[in-house]
A and B are shown apart, each in its own frame.
Chain A
């Protein structure tokens, strides 16, 4: 069984809920830790992670950051790695009214445009990279 197949199995397990605890997905979707530097690039990219459209964060080089959602500064101190993973994969599990998209869910969506149909916003490896980056954000805002 190749690495990809294992990752896919873990992924299906995670999104089907079997690997998810009530408030967290404790284990990596790929079986390997993500790369925080790649995760930072995904978070900052407005076509890939899209995060900064709604969130602020510790990105001094990024001029236009949204304020529809909480500041990401210190988010790694507020949530565990597993809590962050679930909140990226399917935040509606925590709050059904949330406006945050589910980055790892493809079911229960309407009118998804052709190019994105059946695809999650981020794949398992990208989600692990973002989890690794967000987990590293432990410092609160300097006053």
Chain B
């Protein structure tokens, strides 16, 4: 029995220090229970479909002093937004800033629609990001703009930095110990393939920033303010790290 256990240990692709080799990179969907995978795969069972449907309504709704809807400029999202979320965060040439999808939607609202920005984690912003994200389902994550390099590098440093009273880093769990058990949970590789996600623990759809915030509080570290450059840098690094994996928005997670 002990020999068998040892043999299994030797062949099991368990945790190893450093970045995850490309061949072992995978969405954490595959380690979920069959029930959760089925819930994610079936739009009639995936609770995030309600957010996506409301997002479609908002896409067509006029907003702000311009009296314009998203659709008035962008047309049918199923065509114009195809693959877009797979390239975010993206570099915004006009401001020289890196924007995630939430920040881009709000930039559109304030600059083009003449409407107030939507609060992070508000139902409306989650509706729109879910609907836009859905149009990239199946598209490979492709962060290839060289102007993202400084943000990716900052994100990499934040990912590796020890923080909080527990003095952990993102990398300690998600690069070095994925596949192992933290309490009852399998440590995920943490690729942001499916954001916004419907998380059972939340009983709601939530953004990647909300998820990052959860991990920081778990390490007993002071979370960054929503919308901060630190979160956007982490998002940029995580998308770079997940390059090539297909988008699954909206994913379901425990």
Task: Among B161, B172, B217, point to the contact of A113 (Cβ < 8 A).
Answer: B217
Q: Is B46 on the interface with A (CB-CB < 8 A)?
A: no
A–B pairs, 11, beta carbons within 8 Å: A52-B183, A53-B183, A54-B182, A64-B184, A99-B172, A110-B162, A110-B163, A110-B164, A110-B221, A111-B164, A112-B165
Q: Is A119 on the interface with B (CB-CB < 8 A)?
A: yes
Q: Is the CB of A67 within 8 A of B165?
A: no
Chain B 207-247 near chain A by CB (<8 Å), digits 1 or 0: 00000000011001111000000000000000000000000
Q: Is the CB of A121 within 8 A of B184?
A: no
In whole angstroms, how far apart are the Cα atoms of A52 and B181 in the complex?
10
The contact size tier of chain B is: 20 to 34
Q: Is the CB of B183 within 8 A of A64?
A: yes
B contact residues around A66 at 8 Å (CB): 180-183
Chain B 170-198 near chain A by CB (<8 Å), digits 1 or 0: 00110011001111110100000000000
Q: Is A5 on the interface with B (CB-CB < 8 A)?
A: no
A contact residues around B167 at 8 Å (CB): 101-102, 109
Interface size on A, residues (CB 8 A): 24
Q: Is B139 on the interface with A (CB-CB < 8 A)?
A: no
Task: Among A46, A54, A119, point to the contact of B165 (Cβ < 8 A).
Answer: A119
| CB under 8 Å from chain B, chain A span 87-112 | 99, 101-102, 109-112
Instruction: Name the residue among B183, B217, B223 with the largest chain A CB count within 10 angstroms.
Output: B183
Q: Is B71 on the interface with A (CB-CB < 8 A)?
A: no
Cβ of A121 to closest chain B Cβ, rounded Å = 6
